[in-house]
Amino acid sequence: MQVAITGSSGLIGEALVASLASDGHTPIRVTRSGSDGIHWDIAKGEIDTASLEGIDAVVHLAGEGIAEKRWTAAQKREIHDSRVKGTTLLSESLARLAQPPVTLVSGSAIGYYGDRGDTRLTEESEPGEGFLTEVCLDWEAATAAAEEAGITVSHIRTGIVLARHGGVLKRLLLLYKFALGGRLGSGEQYMSWISIDDEVGAIRWLLDNPRSGGFNLTAPHPVTNSDFNKALAQAVHRPAIIPVPEFAPKILLGSELADSLLFTSANVVPERLEGEGFTFAHPTLTEALAHIVG
């Protein structure tokens, strides 16, 4: 299978490229340089359409990092536009192909659901409110051209991806190394997580079993922030005794970014993914952490 991948240098993208290549498939990176794959440039509205002809599938993961910088008005526009304009460019380009791919697995996030307390959220749940919800709604809507052209589009609403070598867990492990770990605020906010292995596995399952619509890429058992920190402390044999007051991240990151990333509660479950046949390698946090950091 030939699979074109945007965002291939990110945490998920790199793992997906390695997984596909190890099983004899041909992952093709879509990058601005195009030196080792297919060229595109979102800002210029350019993409090497000819090189996409005959590709079996596309996985679209590109977008400005949510937590790379403080959320100024300009940064929020970049977060939004890098996703929406990139998805629109890709979707419209795929729709014009004489031999379009069978499926497009397009990125989204559990920010779609907003801050919902302990309410159990499935793919059937209504979207929430706030900046990240607006981004996710526009992001998913931007695949319209591909869908209208008959391409099967899966929207992967990804939770917190746990990997030793990157993402939030890498940062937390450094804190725990120096016994600085602890719950954030009240610790009652739900964290919907997924191991990097299951994230890649779910994407590959969707490549092999094309499905349209939204899929929650989260493990079946979300946990509160307090329980997450207890489990991580046990996994790395370090104490988790220093709670982080809400004001500290807000000073560092800005109130809106800190609230959206650290204090929003989303109890998201992968009802559709499991119901249609995907099996998680790491369904519980204890299993996931034992595999990742054990």
Asked if residue 267 lies in contact with residue 119, where contact means CB atoms within 8 angstroms, the answer is: yes
Best CA proximity match to 125, nearest among 108, 110, 147: 110
Distance CA(11)–CA(247), nearest Å, equals: 29
Q: Dump pLDDT digits (tens) for 154-204.
A: 999 999 999 999 988 988 888 888 777 888 889 999 999 999 999 999 999
> What's the one-letter identity of residue 129?
E
Q: What is the pLDDT of residue 102?
A: 97
Q: What is the pLDDT of residue 132?
A: 96
Q: What is the pLDDT of residue 259?
A: 83
Mean of all residue pLDDT scores within the chain: 94
Distance CA(248)–CA(242), nearest Å, equals: 13
Q: What is the pLDDT of residue 67?
A: 85
Residue of 249 and 128 predicted with greater confidence: 128
Tell me how crowded residue 211 is: count the other CB atoms within 10 A of its CB: 17
Domains and CATH numbers, the chain: 2-293 (3.40.50.720)
- Residue 238: partners with Cβ closer than 8 Å, 6 or more residues away: 176, 177, 179, 181
Strands 267-268 and 2-6: unpaired
What would the mean pLDDT of 60-71 be, rounded to a whole number? 92
Q: What is the pLDDT of residue 238?
A: 86
Q: What is the pLDDT of residue 203?
A: 98
| CA-to-CA separations, 42 to 151, 239, 284, in angstroms, rounded | 21, 45, 38
Q: What is the pLDDT of residue 149?
A: 97
Percent of the chain at pLDDT exceeding 90: 80
Distance CA(152)–CA(146), nearest Å, equals: 8
Q: What is the pLDDT of residue 246?
A: 78
Provide the terminal-to-terminal Cα distance of the chain, rounded to the nearest Å.
33
Q: Dump pLDDT digits (tens) for 212-236.
A: 999 999 999 999 999 999 999 999 9
* Single pTM value for the model: 0.95
